[in-house]
Amino acid sequence: MLWVKAFHIIFMVTWFAGLFYLPRLFVYHADCKDQAGHERFIVMERKLLAIMTLGALLTGVFGLWLIAGWHWPLTELWLQIKLTLVAGLILYHVQCARLVTQFRLGVNRHSGIYYRWFNEIPALLLIAIVLLAVLRPAI
């Protein structure tokens, strides 16, 4: 089961790399004024979203495997809270995919400043999720 846990962590790191970098690309893309730059960001965002989605899916697969092996049924409150926060990350990921589409279609409605704030959300969720997973507080 430790191999499963290791792969869960590896793919979680992959997913978070995308969750941290894609919104940063949005910051630069929102401020981009030339067509060549716009086209370059579209390609970068699409490719990063694909890699990030693969990381998310494999994180989920190995996470569910861990739950089935170690934590079923879901009676521990720390894990229930962690999974709720992970659901929030999934919604954030979906929103990132929508934003990639909006940029591709040329209908971005937000400024670089908005994306700078948007970029902070996964960091806050990461802190909470890691603390819950490591400390496993008896809530």
Return the pLDDT at 78.
93
Cα–chain center distance at 133: 17
Return the pLDDT at 71.
82
Cβ within 8 Å of residue 62, ≥6 positions away: 4, 5, 7, 8, 11
Q: How many domains does the chain have?
A: 1
CB-based burial label for 114 (10 Å; 0-12, 13-18, 19+): middle
Cα–chain center distance at 11: 11
| Domain of residue 34, residue span | 2-135
pLDDT (tens, 9 = 90+) of the chain, 139 residues, equals 899 999 999 999 999 999 999 999 999 999 999 999 999 999 999 999 999 999 999 999 999 999 999 888 888 999 999 999 999 999 999 999 999 999 999 999 999 999 999 999 999 999 999 999 999 998 7
Angle, vertex CA 22, rays to CA 85 and CA 121, nearest 5:
30
Alpha-carbon distance 7 to 59, whole Å?
8
Return the pLDDT at 1.
87
Q: Quote the pTM value.
A: 0.94
